[in-house]
């Protein structure tokens, strides 16, 4: 009899714990990139710095939500923090192209209206996520690229900076190393070995794209992504981040999604929209849909991760790399930040 009572108490305790876990409602989830992020390669100081910035970003977005601002405002404020910090491959910390330039991409999407805006290859906009929002709200277009996007951002009143603003020694050194590896591969590639497709092996092993999905008090979702692209990229390459449906997507009826990783694979699998479609047409949870979409990327040979948040406050943060800078905050302000697998 005693053992039965003990079992009953234990069963109902576990049931209560499970219910409380399910009821945890998140209002924001962020990422700072996925890749070969190993604790053994991280100094305590650098780890603390990453955690501090991710925490600061979550607090910035949460303050917007708490004050009754929209999820779009929360996403923009959060990504500003990450774009302004050189630890991440976005804004100030953007990586360099083969030509020694910083070309920035960003996208934002409103889950309520399905309005979206994005920019690609901008070089003078301090905060590309704001340029993406300006395209969405102040033009009839969805995407603008290059010099035209820079000019539009200036006309829209956004902060414009000298391209030198984006220069950081760590990213410059990363470019030099990538060029050196490229030249070594080129030498090894001669002879009888068949050449790879141009650009197919230009793989940045330390992704740092940033993204955010937020759920405001009105029940509206918004998603945004910002990136400096791929180290040593050539020929005006654009990744998945600014492509609506590939690296960024949001719909109140399903979820908001922001991706990070090897962009070509996310484009080919239309990852962000696939997650939304699996939820809408198959009735899958945000966790199930996210896993299926990322598994397709992995099977094709790509890597990275993503964040997703549904209208009920459930989150998913899958990744198939060694680590992903990530964090979330609940409706009651509890912050969770992680780096490693």
Read off the pLDDT of residues 34-55 as tens digits, 9 standing for 90 and up.
988 889 989 999 999 999 999 9
Q: How many CB atoms lie within 10 A of CB 245?
A: 20
**Cβ neighbours for 184, distance < 8 A, ≥ 6 positions apart:** none
Q: What is the pLDDT of residues 263-313, one digit of tens each?
A: 999 999 999 999 999 999 999 999 999 999 999 999 999 999 999 999 999
pLDDT of residue 181: 86
CB crowding 153-163: b at 16 or more within 10 Å, else e: beebebeeeee
Query: What are the start-end ranges of the H helices in 260-336?
Result: 263-268, 271-282, 286-300
Rounded Cα distance between 148 and 121, Å, is 10
Query: What average pLDDT does this structure show over 3-14?
Result: 47
Which residues have a catalytic role annotated? 209
Contacts of 314 (CB under 8 A, 6+ apart): 26, 285, 286, 287
Please name which of 34, 21, 22 lies closest in space to residue 258, comparing C-alpha atoms: 34
**pTM for this predicted structure:** 0.89
| pLDDT value at 196 more than 60 | no
Which helix (H) or strand (E) segment is 35 a member of?
A: strand 26-35
């Amino acid at each position: 009899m005693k053992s039965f009572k003990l079992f009953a108490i234990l069963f109902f305790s576990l049931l209560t714990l499970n219910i409380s876990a399910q009821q945890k409602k998140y209002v924001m989830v962020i990422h700072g990139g996925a890749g070969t992020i190993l604790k053994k390669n991280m100094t305590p100081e650098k780890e603390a710095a990453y955690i501090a910035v991710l925490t600061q970003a979550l607090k910035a977005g949460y303050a917007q939500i708490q004050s009754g601002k929209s999820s779009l405002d929360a996403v923009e404020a959060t990504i500003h923090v990450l774009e302004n910090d050189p630890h991440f491959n976005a804004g100030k910390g953007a990586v360099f192209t083969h030509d020694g330039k910083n070309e920035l991409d960003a996208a934002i999407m409103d889950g309520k209206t399905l309005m979206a805006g994005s920019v690609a290859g901008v070089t003078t906009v301090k905060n590309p996520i704001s340029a993406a929002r300006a395209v969405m709200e102040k033009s009839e277009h969805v995407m603008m690229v290059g010099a035209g996007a820079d000019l539009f951002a200036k006309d829209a009143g956004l902060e414009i900076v000298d391209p030198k603003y984006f220069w950081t020694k760590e990213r410059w050194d990363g470019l030099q190393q990538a060029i050196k590896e490229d030249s070594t591969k080129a030498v090894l590639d001669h002879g009888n070995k068949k050449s790879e497709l141009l650009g197919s092996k230009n793989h940045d092993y330390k992704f740092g794209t940033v993204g955010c999905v937020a759920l405001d008090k009105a029940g509206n979702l918004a998603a945004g992504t910002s990136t400096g692209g791929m180290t040593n990229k050539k020929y005006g390459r654009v990744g998945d981040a600014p492509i609506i449906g590939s690296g960024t997507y949001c719909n109140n009826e399903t979820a908001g999604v922001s991706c990070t990783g090897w962009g070509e694979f996310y484009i080919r699998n239309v990852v962000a929209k696939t997650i939304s479609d699996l939820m809408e047409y198959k009735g899958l949870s945000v966790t199930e849909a996210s896993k299926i979409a990322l598994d397709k990327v992995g099977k094709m040979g790509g890597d990275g991760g993503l964040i997703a948040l549904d209208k009920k406050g459930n989150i998913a943060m899958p990744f198939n790399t060694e680590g992903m800078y990530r964090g979330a905050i609940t409706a009651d302000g509890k912050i969770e930040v992680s780096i490693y697998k």
